[in-house]
């Protein structure tokens, strides 16, 4: 959800069951951006300057709002809700760049967008799969304290979760790094003759700075799992399908970093 339509997200993410929340964070985002690509494509991507500036402002405010508010959270689900808002802002950068036919995601904004939204779905689902897989005192794991010492009790689940969180952060060697690289590169490589070249460069710089801010709360999640001196009374509850889902999401983030061409070709 982009600002100003983001206000429902934290409460919905916190109140819904983790598997439902993971799906809510992905499918509406995918459908919304695909619809925007089709609408803008029908306009031959000849967008009025006023509309481009509106998207620019929404993207900048959305990234910053999501990341800054996520830093203030201790509930992991609310933190991931604000993270989802921030990722919407990153995706809007690629949408604003638009298509560069045959150029690939390093230059083609639409290809970068489709790659990014797809891998976002996997890394977000992986993060929520971890929250679905464990309970503390009969309640689903939700807070940073609930995740304390998880890697000691379930090292493989902790590793898969860490990979998904590092991917959300955009840290190599994960697909999330490539996703952000493609989005920011598509903006930086826009032809200098493009009338919106300068503003997009500034927006990409804002995006990079926001990625640095975002690292703060993602590292809080990793720290709770790996570095906390406490040990939460975690009990596995999700069953085999949830654990397999978490593992597959973590593996996918590494595989798509090493071999992104399959997804890149489809996005292009």
Q: What is the DSSP string of 75-111?
A: BHHHHHHHHHHHHHHHHHHHHHH---TTS-TTT-HHH
pLDDT at 5: 76
Task: Confirm whether 161 is domain-assigned.
Answer: yes
Task: Confirm whether 44 is domain-assigned.
Answer: no
212 lies in which domain range?
Answer: 9-23+52-267
Give all strands (DSSP E) within 29-96, no chain letters. Answer: none
Cα angle 203-206-211, degrees, rounded to a multiple of 5: 130
268 with 261: CB under 8 angstroms? no
pLDDT at 80: 94
Please choose, from the candidates 92, 87, 43, 111, the residue with its C-alpha nearest in 3D space to the C-alpha of residue 199.
92
Instruction: Compute how many other C-beta atoms are within 10 angstroms of the C-beta atom of residue 142.
Output: 19
pLDDT at 183: 96
Task: Confirm whether 224 is domain-assigned.
Answer: yes
For 79, what's the count of Cα atoms within 13 Å in the CB-facing half-sphere? 24
Task: Confirm whether 188 is domain-assigned.
Answer: yes
What span, in angstroms and rounded, lies between the C-alpha atoms of 219 and 79?
Answer: 12
pLDDT at 23: 83
Question: Tokens at residue 153, please?
Answer: 């009790």
pLDDT at 160: 96
Low-confidence ranges of the chain (pLDDT < 50): none
pLDDT at 268: 64
**pLDDT tens-place string over residues 184-234:** 999 998 888 878 889 999 999 999 999 999 999 999 999 999 998 888 988
CA quadruple 259, 185, 212, 3: dihedral sign:
negative
- Residue 70, helix vs strand vs coil: helix
Task: Confirm whether 47 is domain-assigned.
Answer: no
pLDDT at 102: 66
Task: Confirm whether 39 is domain-assigned.
Answer: no
Task: Confirm whether 40 is domain-assigned.
Answer: no
Total number of domains in the chain: 1
Instruction: Compute how many other C-beta atoms are within 10 angstroms of the C-beta atom of residue 8.
Output: 10
Q: What is the DSSP letter of 234?
A: E
Question: Tokens at residue 7, please?
Answer: 């206000």
Task: Confirm whether 150 is domain-assigned.
Answer: yes
pLDDT at 8: 78
Tell me the angle at which helices 76-97 and 197-226 cross, rounded to the nearest 10 degrees: 160
Cα angle 172-178-183, degrees, rounded to a multiple of 5: 135
Please choose, from the candidates 260, 97, 89, the residue with its C-alpha nearest in 3D space to the C-alpha of residue 179.
260
Q: Write the DSSP assignment of 135-191 as a string of letters.
A: EETTEE--BTTTTTTHHHH-HHHHHHHHHHHHHHHT-SSSHHHHHHHHHHHHHHTS-
Using alpha carbons, list the distances in angstroms from residue 106 to 130, 157, 207: 32, 33, 16
pLDDT at 1: 76
């Amino acid at each position: 959800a982009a600002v100003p339509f983001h206000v429902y997200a934290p409460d919905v993410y916190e109140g819904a069951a983790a598997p439902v929340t993971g799906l809510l964070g992905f499918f509406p985002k995918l459908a919304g951006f695909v619809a925007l690509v089709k609408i803008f494509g029908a306009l031959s991507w000849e967008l009025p300057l006023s509309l481009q500036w509106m998207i620019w402002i929404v993207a900048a405010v959305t990234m910053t709002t999501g990341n800054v508010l996520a830093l203030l959270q201790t509930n992991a689900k609310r933190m991931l809700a604000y993270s989802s808002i921030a990722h919407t802002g990153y995706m809007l950068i690629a949408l604003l760049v638009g298509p560069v036919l045959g150029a690939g995601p390093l230059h083609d904004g639409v290809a970068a967008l489709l790659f990014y939204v797809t891998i976002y779905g996997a890394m977000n689902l992986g993060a929520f799969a971890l929250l679905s897989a464990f309970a503390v005192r009969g309640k689903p794991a939700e807070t940073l304290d609930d995740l304390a010492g998880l890697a000691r009790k379930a090292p493989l689940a902790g590793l898969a979760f860490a990979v998904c969180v590092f991917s959300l952060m955009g840290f190599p060697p994960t697909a999330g790094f490539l996703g952000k690289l493609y989005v920011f590169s598509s903006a930086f490589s826009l032809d200098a003759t493009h009338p919106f070249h300068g503003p997009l460069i500034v927006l990409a710089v804002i995006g990079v700075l926001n990625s640095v801010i975002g690292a703060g709360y993602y590292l809080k999640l990793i720290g709770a799992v790996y570095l906390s001196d406490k040990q939460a009374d975690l009990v596995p509850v999700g069953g085999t399908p949830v654990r397999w889902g978490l593992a597959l999401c973590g593996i996918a983030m590494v595989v798509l970093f090493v071999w992104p061409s399959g997804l890149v070709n489809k996005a292009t």
